[in-house]
Amino acid sequence: MSKATGKNSISFGLNRGSFLRGQFLVLVILLSSLFLAACGALPAPAADLSSLTSANNPVRVEDVYPVRPLQGAAVSYKLGLNLDAAGGIAQGQVLQVTLQANNPGELAWSAGNFPHLTFGATSLDLLPVEGSATPLFAAYVPVGVELAAQPYPLEISFTDETGATRLLRRVIEVEKVDFPYQDLTLDGDLAGLADHQADAYDDTQLAGAYQTFSPVRLWQGDWQLPLNVPWALTTAFGEQRTYNGQSDTLYYHEGVDMGPLSRQAGDLVVSPAAGRVVYVGDLEARGLTVALDHGLGVTSYYFHLSQISVEPGQVVAAGDLLGLVGSTGRATGPHLHWEVRVQGTPVDPFAFLGAPLA
Ligand SMILES: [Zn+2]
């Protein structure tokens, strides 16, 4: 359960700011200790949304500020970034980027000439999303578990109303996360699934879903949880995992495992956001699987189901039934593995539950 967000900093001398930060750090350590102690005292805490977002996600701060052009101060743009309180973003999160002009007509665009961003190895267009008086553009950038923790420049170029190209640049620190480690025992028939051959087969089957990019965002606002029954987080996102103590089986957990407290199969799995079914099938490690496309490179996955209730191509709304919780594939008991990928890279699904920028 524990997860620490580290950030390297070097400071010389003691000023009021660093003294206050020191006090804050002590408070955080105290609260963390209390939290860990509480986890130890309660064997199977019922996970609820409020405790998860505060315990597992960094503080989310909507960082929207005007960007003044070099000349003609009447025009400004709003750049939205979901950075944490330290101004960075942790490994495993998704960087949400929005760009909006303050007045209609201040930002020129056309099909084939959208605002464009680069961040690390990611290079993609910001695309128009509906529901705003002035044109609003959005993009979702994966900050993968394996992306090196260091500063990266975020650069956004776009054409203004005069036809001039403008460049917004901001350096964003990717913060290291010490993901926990777990060894899982697989007995009998499941032991044969401990190697990566089953995963490689599954990845081949899901390759089309991973690469899906629809130029329209299909959802609005916050996502909801895919389970509506009491559940516990049995394996967190990003946990390093081995099977039967074999170090060559090491990999990181690409989603979250949600175990119904009933410990029974058959609970309803619902869509957390509007989307479209892009894959339905029976996989080796993942078992009965549903994959959804939500647009702008965001896809989601539901593994180990006992029953599937949707068909490929079907359009779903938030809350629509996808299937039933089960333990098909490599599962030691009934649970839902929920996974979200951005541009094909797994990110923490809970990142979509807290206040999106637009
Ligand atoms: Zn899982």
- Could you report the per-residue pLDDT of 117-170, keeping only the tens digit for each? 999 999 999 999 887 777 789 999 999 999 999 999 998 888 877 777 877 888
The pLDDT value given to residue 326: 98
Ligand 1 centroid – CA 303 distance (Å)? 8
**Residue percentage of the chain with pLDDT more than 90:** 51
Are residues 256 and 113 part of one domain?
Answer: no
Are residues 323 and 224 part of one domain?
Answer: yes
The pLDDT value given to residue 183: 85
Domain for residue 331, yes or no? Answer: yes
Mean pLDDT of 6-14: 28
Nearest 5°: CA angle at 258, between 271 and 253? 100
User: φ and ψ at 48, to 5 degrees?
Assistant: -120, 165
Are residues 256 and 139 part of one domain?
Answer: no
> Considering its fold, how many domains does the chain have in total?
2
Contact residues for 60 (Cβ-Cβ < 8 A; gap 6+): 82, 84, 354, 355
The pLDDT value given to residue 281: 98
Q: Does residue 262 register a pLDDT over 70?
A: yes
Domain for residue 358, yes or no? Answer: no
Are residues 322 and 235 part of one domain?
Answer: yes
The pLDDT value given to residue 76: 61
Ligand 1 centroid – CA 256 distance (Å)? 6
Are residues 332 and 250 part of one domain?
Answer: yes
Last residue of a domain, one of 131, 156, 178: 178
Q: Does residue 199 register a pLDDT over 80?
A: yes
User: φ and ψ at 202, to 5 degrees?
Assistant: -60, -45
User: φ and ψ at 292, to 5 degrees?
Assistant: -120, 145
- Which range has the worst mean pLDDT, 28-32, 43-47, 88-92? 43-47
Mean pLDDT of 56-66: 33
- Which range has the worst mean pLDDT, 80-84, 213-217, 319-323? 80-84
The pLDDT value given to residue 245: 83
Compute the residue count for the chain. Answer: 358
Ligand 1 centroid – CA 255 distance (Å)? 6
Higher-scoring residue by pLDDT: 3, 92: 92
Are residues 163 and 118 part of one domain?
Answer: yes
Are residues 302 and 244 part of one domain?
Answer: yes
Are residues 203 and 158 part of one domain?
Answer: no
Query: Ligand 1 (ion): which residues have CB within 5 A?
Result: 257, 337
Q: Which of 277, 251, 272, 241 is nearest to 349 (CA)?
A: 272
Distance (Å) of CA 296 to CA 126, 171, 212, 283: 9, 23, 9, 26
Ligand 1 centroid – CA 253 distance (Å)? 6
Domain for residue 154, yes or no? Answer: yes
Residue 355 pLDDT grade (very low, low, confident, very high; cuts 50, 70, 90): low
Are residues 244 and 308 part of one domain?
Answer: yes
Ligand 1 centroid – CA 35 distance (Å)? 24
**Structure ipTM:** 0.99
Domain for residue 357, yes or no? Answer: no
The pLDDT value given to residue 25: 38
352: its two tokens: 């979509």
Structural domain containing residue 189:
181-352
Nearest 5°: CA angle at 292, between 284 and 328? 25
Torsion of CA 85, 90, 92, 96, to 10 degrees: 50
Are residues 79 and 59 part of one domain?
Answer: yes
Question: What is the β-pairing status of strands 240-243 and 165-178?
Answer: unpaired
d(CA 38, CA 23): 23
d(CA 8, CA 26): 17
Q: Name the DSSP class of 188.
A: G
Q: Name the DSSP class of 110.
A: B
The pLDDT value given to residue 356: 65
Q: How far does CA 74 lie from the centroid of its chain? A: 36
On whether the CB atoms of residues 109 and 159 are closer than 8 A, the answer is yes
Ligand 1 centroid – CA 341 distance (Å)? 14
- CATH code, 110: 2.60.40.10
d(CA 64, CA 82): 9
Ligand 1 centroid – CA 163 distance (Å)? 49
Domain for residue 46, yes or no? Answer: yes
Are residues 287 and 212 part of one domain?
Answer: yes
Distance (Å) of CA 211 to CA 175, 183, 197, 204, 207: 26, 31, 21, 11, 6
187: left (phi over 0), alpha (psi -120 to 50) or beta: beta
Contact residues for 236 (Cβ-Cβ < 8 A; gap 6+): 1, 3, 56, 179, 180, 253, 256
Mean pLDDT of 292-311: 98
